[in-house]
Amino acid sequence: MAASSSLLFTLLLVLLTFSDSSVQTLGLEVGINYGQIANNLPSPARVSYLLRSLNISRVKLYDADPNVLLAFANTNVEFIIGLGNEYLQNMTDPIKAQNWIQQRVQPYLTRTKITCITVGNEVYKTYDHQLWSNLLPAMQTVYNTLVNLGLDKQVTVTTAHSLDILSVSFPPSAGAFRQDLGEYLHGILNFHAQVKSPFLINAYPYFAYKDKPNEVPLNYVLFQPNQGTMDPNTNLKYDNILFAQIDAVYSAIKAMGHTDIEVRISETGWPSRGDENEVGATPENAGLYNGNLLRRIEEKQGTPAKPNVPIDIYVFALFNENQKPGPTSERNYGLFYPDGTPVYNIGVQGYLPELIYSSATTNNGFSICSLLVLAIAYLISS
């Protein structure tokens, strides 16, 4: 039985090799958010096949799920793992921080490529002032623990913010952080400058359109041809709102005295379904947003203010998550359904073991489906 399982694994790898020549994969420097608030998702082992068939090599988790980290062992896929907000108080304690890293990170590092830990997520959106106060000490303690264990060159530390930490986002050159966050963000920025880790933002142009559909042009948020907007202070033209948001964050950081911190987008996406009041949440718009965004990434585009710095983005999300709370849109950000089929067409396809959804043929004339049938038939006959 062990030999048969090994053979099936080998045949599946051959299958993936065949399919790479006939099915378009992402093959881009794009990351993907792998959320798991659902009860119908495929196993991490199957997800590993799917992402590799898409040639996605960067994944962001919201925890440090050992099942996922083990499933991606020896795949060379880079992981950002997460410490939820509920861990922040404990992570201010050096002993508890060391225990967590030694139990949840260190055992996997020899085989799984963990490159970053996010300490908290959108902490300033909670209006919990205790969390606000714990964030920087938790980041510092986790980082110092990595230094003590000799892991700081391998794993960096950051946190992810929502875009509403900005009080001004347009024009981008006037970007500014909220005044009530000034004392907190000053310390956070000093930390990033010291350890050379990126400043992460979760940016969703969808919300700007949903809230003001009569004022925000749809084409401007979907990267479609449009008149664009001009920053009157710099005369830089913006043809999409996401790039304007990124540059607004850079301006806000600069206003606090830093020009050496890189801004990365830790989440962005578009829902394919929503409630009646969630204007624009359609598969067509989601396909345009993510498809056009992927093309910008493929072209290594930078923003108007940072044209030589290619945008660094993690798309939200890999799957629709059926147990996420909130409006309907929250459960419909996925590129894929849990069975591995695409929610909408953005010109890419992948492979989920046991569930084939491409009828493409290989250069040798075999259909991908027939190759899988041959593999299973061989096992039965043996």
C-alpha–C-alpha distance, residues 48 and 155, integer Å: 21
C-alpha–C-alpha distance, residues 118 and 288, integer Å: 29
Contact 173, 244 (CB under 8 A): no
Paired tokens of 155: 């794993």
Contact 131, 123 (CB under 8 A): yes
Which amino acids are annotated catalytic?
122, 267
**Helix, coil or strand: residue 146:** helix
Tokens 């000093």 found at: 190
For the chain, give percent helix, strand, coil, nearest 5: 40, 15, 45
**Neighbouring-strand partners of residue 184:** none
C-alpha–C-alpha distance, residues 206 and 333, integer Å: 11
CA 336 to chain centre: 14
Tokens 């300490």 found at: 119
